[in-house]
A and B are shown apart, each in its own frame.
Chain A
Amino acid sequence: DAKTTQPPSMDCAEGRAANLPCNHSTISGNEYVYWYRQIHSQGPQYIIHGLKNNETNEMASLIITEDRKSSTLILPHATLRDTAVYYCIVRVGDTGNQFYFGTGTSLTVIP
């Protein structure tokens, strides 16, 4: 099963771009990369997902390398409310529904 590797923690200055890396070297050709975040004491919140093309929405951008073995989530202008644990996930299992969350990256946005 494809799994992900993320740095355990990162800091980012408020107003600057936060770049969160993720390695998923065993990802299969039909597996998507998803990013969720979890603010303390809340359930995870969807951010963005992609297959092989770069994606952008109102929350973030997702850059996936050409070999799909790694990706980067970019929060273009981090705010204090972006402080959270960020999970990079690839879909595993034949049903395509089992998410392996891992331990994520704890992002702290510093004033």
Chain B
Amino acid sequence: GAGVSQTPSNKVTEKGKYVELRCDPISGHTALYWYRQSLGQGPEFLIYFQGTGAADDSGLPNDRFFAVRPEGSVSTLKIQRTERGDSAVYLCASSLSGGRSYNEQFFGPGTRLTVL
């Protein structure tokens, strides 16, 4: 079946611009996660959704970053006034459910964001 998909695969923008990154989770997965991965580093947690609500947004670096999941499926990560330091691969993952029970997280291929 279809896995997690992310669009665009690559995004180049200029400093100060606004960008949106999209994630389509696996159908039926209620939990959705966003991570950011800089070169040579492991993925860094940003935010976790359970259904439509953000259950944990403690990883968002500042208020320029915001994410939504209005219908409990597709999610959009929004970055305002982009900075060169925002350049990274943004990964999305989904799982059957979240909370204390463990469910394997399935990752998408990521969106490579480059801020010039």
Contact = CB atoms under 8 A, between A and B. Distances in A.
Interface of A: 32, 41-46, 49, 85, 87, 91, 93, 95-104
B88 to A, nearest CB: 13
B77 to A, nearest CB: 15
Given A93-B58, A96-B100, A103 B40 contact: yes
Interface residues of B, number: 28
A87 B41 CA distance: 11
Most B CB contacts (10 A, CB to CB) among A32, A97, A98 go to: A97
Most A CB contacts (10 A, CB to CB) among B59, B98, B99, B100 go to: B100
B20 interface: no
A97 B98 contact: yes
Mostly, the A contact residues are loop
Interface stretch (B11-19, B61-69, B78-86, B103-111): B103-111
Interface of B: 4, 31, 33, 35, 40-45, 48, 55-56, 58-59, 91, 93, 98-100, 102, 104-110
Given A44-B91, A97-B98, 12 more contacts: A43-B4, A44-B105, A46-B104, A46-B105, A49-B102, A87-B42, A95-B99, A97-B48, A98-B48, A98-B59, A101-B35, A101-B44
